[in-house]
């Protein structure tokens, strides 16, 4: 029942004005859209990068805390590593205290422990014997220390503000004083203390050396670094792990100074990467117990296999939690202090360092700059919020995963928080721009055209609004006029409901065909 217009003067094709967008390929529309949008999104990426770089330079407390926690997360994700077998711990642990009595022990017991470690190449004692006990016990410990000639005793510096350096203390520590190589007259930024608590002369005279067991946490109370030397009076003195390793290797430590602070720390053939204050970033092997550890009671009672300590660096310290020599670390909130010293010594002995030098800082800055620029260019290519979110997630995961690989495989510790933050800022800013500016314009165009053209054409207009122009475009197109023969009579016989159903059976498939061919329906009459 379709009656075609059969006028001989009416051509099959007409020349009329039609929106210019029709007939443009999808690739052309995408290119046009990208051209229109990329400057704004690129500017958003650049602004995000510069904002984060400026915040990095200011180093506000919350960003420093985020950076530290990100580094902690990398340690936890990496998990446990095998500690070097050449470094061993002998622990005054719960078992030893239960068997040999409460801590502190008599110095005869400590003397027996040191005597039992005669096979060790170096014994580092994470304790100080600053007060006399009884003459027999003190003499026994002094004899044990002197007879071994490989015992490094601990001591600690105090922060008493009114104290002055003690000449006798300076004299007792003189054998362990660090040599300085001064390249330029700069600052001395290492920690300095006004007073010290050393071992008694009787016990200390026979020691192979002395090392300070001071440790200092970061601002959040977590121990991540080990100061390797400290200032006292006119001199610089080593920490316990540095002095122990110096004795173990038979080499003296040398510090080279530059204008900005510490430039290098040398220990024989080893070059130790420290920061300008002389601190070493610890490369942890795992939670407490990562090192081979023997209970002190087993050592004293002869329950350790012969040769277990031969040629090794042995740290002696207290791990019993009730003694409170516990230091929280990224991997364990109950990490024994003696294991911190063992970790530092093992890192230096194996040259197993965390790398976070100037090269890493430059890499971090480039990542912080380039990642949001790349995301900005990607966001300008996608129209949907979900697609933008997917791009954001993929890029974030790629950056974090890449930096974790650098850490876990190469010991390079990048500042992952800054590139990640720049990506977050860029994504939020880009989506805000899209929804507040671009989507607002899209909604306006959709309202303006949806009453006149097909949804597909509306989508094309939204994809490339810049392609529209006043007056449209002249094209040769096909126009279809159709009618239902006898419609007046039909409409008189049918009820309104039946008439609607009848029209829908015809108009719906006809309209579908037109829209499938990307045509437009002008009107129903």
Which phi and psi angles does 267 have, rounded to 5°? Answer: -135, 85
Identify the weakest region by mean pLDDT among 76-90, 239-253, 267-281, 441-455.
441-455
Are 358 and 412 in contact by the 8 Å Cβ rule? The answer is no
pLDDT for the residue numbered 501: 86
d(C-alpha 432, C-alpha 378), whole Å:
15
Give residue-wise pLDDT tens across range 473-497. Answer: 777 888 888 888 887 888 888 888 8
| pLDDT at res. 197 | 92
- pLDDT tens for 3-26 read 444 333 333 333 334 444 444 454
Q: How confident is the model at residue 143 (pLDDT cuts 50, 70, 90)?
A: very high
Angstrom distance (rounded) from CA 198 to CA 155: 5
Region of poorest pLDDT, from 62-71, 297-306, 508-517? 508-517
What letters, b where the CB count within 10 A reaches 16 and e where it falls short, cover 476-486? eeeeeeeeeee
pTM beyond cutoff 0.85: no
What confidence tier does 384 reach under pLDDT thresholds 50, 70, 90?
Answer: confident
Q: CA 372, CA 47: separation in Å to the nearest integer? A: 9
pLDDT of residue 12: 37
Question: Does 352 have pLDDT greater than 90?
Answer: yes
Q: Spell out the domain ranges in the chain.
A: 1-20+469-525, 41-70+357-439, 85-349
Determine the pLDDT at residue 29: 46
Joined together, the tokens standing for residue 241 give 């792990």
Q: What is the mean pLDDT of residues 374-383?
A: 88
312 vs 185, which has greater pLDDT? 312
pLDDT of residue 357: 86
Contacts 24+ apart (CB under 8 A), 95-101: 95/295, 95/297, 96/295, 96/296, 96/297, 96/298, 96/320, 97/320, 97/322, 99/297, 99/301, 100/296, 100/297, 100/300
Question: What would the mean pLDDT of 400-414 be, rounded to a whole number?
Answer: 96
The mean per-residue pLDDT over the stretch 128-134 comes to 92
Residue 144 has pLDDT above 50, yes or no: yes
The predicted model gives 28-36 an average pLDDT of: 47
42 phi/psi in degrees, rounded to 5: -65, -40
The whole-chain average pLDDT of the chain stands at 86
- pLDDT score recorded for residue 486: 81
What per-residue confidence (pLDDT) applies to 500? 83
Best-predicted range by mean pLDDT among 18-22, 367-371, 385-389, 465-469? 367-371
Calculate the CA 338 to chain-centre distance: 27
pLDDT digits (tens, 9 = 90+) for 239-252: 999 999 999 999 99
Measured in degrees and rounded to the nearest 5, phi and psi for residue 217 equal -80, 170
CA angle 69, 72, 76 (to 5 degrees): 135
Give the pLDDT score at 98: 95
Give 500 or 284, the one with higher predicted confidence.
284
Specify the higher pLDDT residue, 419 or 482: 419
By the 10 Å C-beta count (0-12 exposed, 13-18 middle, 19+ buried), 464 is classed as buried
Note the pLDDT tens digit of each residue in 424-474: 999 999 988 887 876 666 666 666 666 556 666 666 666 665 566 656 677
Dig out the tokens for 360 from the structure. Answer: 């890493």
**CA 380, CA 39: separation in Å to the nearest integer?**
9
Q: What percent of the chain has pLDDT over 90?
A: 60
Q: Helices 417-433 and 358-379 sit at what angle, rounded to 10 degrees? A: 20
CA quadruple 306, 310, 316, 321: dihedral positive or negative?
A: negative
* Least confident range of 132-141, 271-280, 443-452: 443-452
In this prediction, residue 380 carries a pLDDT of 85
| Contact status, residue 171 vs residue 230, Cβ threshold 8 Å | no
Query: Taking 90 as the threshold, does the pLDDT of residue 206 lie above it?
Result: yes
pLDDT of residue 39: 85
> What pLDDT does 435 receive?
79
Residue 230 has pLDDT above 70, yes or no: yes
Alpha helices in 411-471 (DSSP H): 417-433, 439-449, 455-463
Q: Residue 152: in which H helix or E strand, if any? A: strand 151-158
């Amino acid at each position: 029942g379709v009656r075609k217009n059969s006028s001989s003067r009416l051509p099959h094709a007409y020349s009329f004005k039609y929106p210019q967008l029709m007939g443009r390929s999808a690739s052309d529309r995408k290119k046009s859209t990208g051209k229109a949008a990329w400057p704004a999104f690129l500017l958003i990426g650049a602004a995000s990068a510069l904002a984060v770089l400026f915040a990095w330079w200011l180093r506000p407390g919350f960003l420093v805390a985020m950076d530290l926690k990100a580094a902690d997360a990398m340690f936890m994700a990496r998990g446990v590593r095998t500690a070097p077998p050449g470094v061993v711990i002998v622990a005054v642990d719960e078992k030893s205290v239960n068997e040999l009595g409460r801590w502190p022990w008599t110095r005869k017991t400590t003397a027996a422990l040191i005597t039992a470690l005669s096979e060790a190449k170096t014994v580092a004692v994470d304790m100080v014997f600053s007060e006399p006990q009884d003459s027999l016990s003190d003499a026994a410990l002094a004899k044990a220390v002197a007879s071994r000639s490989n015992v490094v005793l601990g001591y600690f510096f105090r922060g008493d503000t009114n104290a002055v350096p003690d000449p006798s203390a300076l004299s007792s520590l003189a054998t362990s004083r660090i040599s300085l190589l001064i390249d330029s007259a700069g600052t001395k930024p290492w920690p300095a203390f006004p007073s010290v608590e050393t071992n008694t002369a009787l016990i200390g005279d026979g020691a192979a050396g002395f090392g300070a067991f001071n440790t200092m946490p970061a601002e959040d109370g977590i121990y991540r670094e080990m100061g390797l030397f400290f200032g006292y009076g006119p001199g610089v003195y080593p920490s316990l792990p540095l002095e122990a390793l110096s004795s173990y290797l038979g080499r003296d430590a040398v510090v080279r100074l530059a204008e900005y602070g510490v430039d290098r720390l040398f220990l024989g053939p080893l070059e130790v990467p420290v920061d300008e204050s002389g601190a070493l970033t610890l490369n942890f092997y795992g939670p407490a117990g990562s090192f081979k550890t023997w209970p002190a009671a087993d050592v004293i009672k002869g329950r350790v296999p012969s040769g277990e300590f031969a040629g090794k660096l042995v740290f002696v310290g207290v791990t019993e939690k009730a003694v409170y020599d516990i230091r929280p670390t990224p991997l364990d909130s109950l990490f024994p202090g003696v294991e911190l010293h063992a970790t530092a010594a093992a890192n230096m002995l194996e040259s197993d360092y965390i790398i976070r030098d100037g090269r890493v800082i430059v890499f971090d800055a480039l990542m912080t700059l380039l990642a949001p620029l790349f995301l900005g260019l990607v966001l300008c290519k996608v129209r949907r919020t979900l697609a933008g979110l997917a791009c954001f997630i993929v890029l974030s995961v790629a950056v974090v995963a890449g930096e974790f690989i650098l850490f876990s495989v190469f010991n390079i510790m990048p500042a992952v928080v800054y590139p990640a933050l720049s990506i977050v800022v860029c994504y939020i800013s880009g989506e805000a721009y899209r929804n507040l500016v671009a989507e607002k314009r899209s909604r306006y165009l959709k309202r303006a055209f949806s009453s006149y053209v097909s949804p597909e054409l509306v989508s094309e207009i939204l994809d490339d609004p810049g392609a529209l122009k006043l007056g449209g475009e002249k094209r040769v197109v096909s126009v279809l006029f159709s009618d239902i023969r006898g419609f007046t009579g039909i409409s008189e016989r049918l009820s309104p409901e039946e008439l609607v159903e009848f029209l829908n059976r015809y108009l719906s498939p006809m309209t579908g065909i037109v829209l499938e061919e990307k045509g437009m329906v002008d009107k129903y009459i």
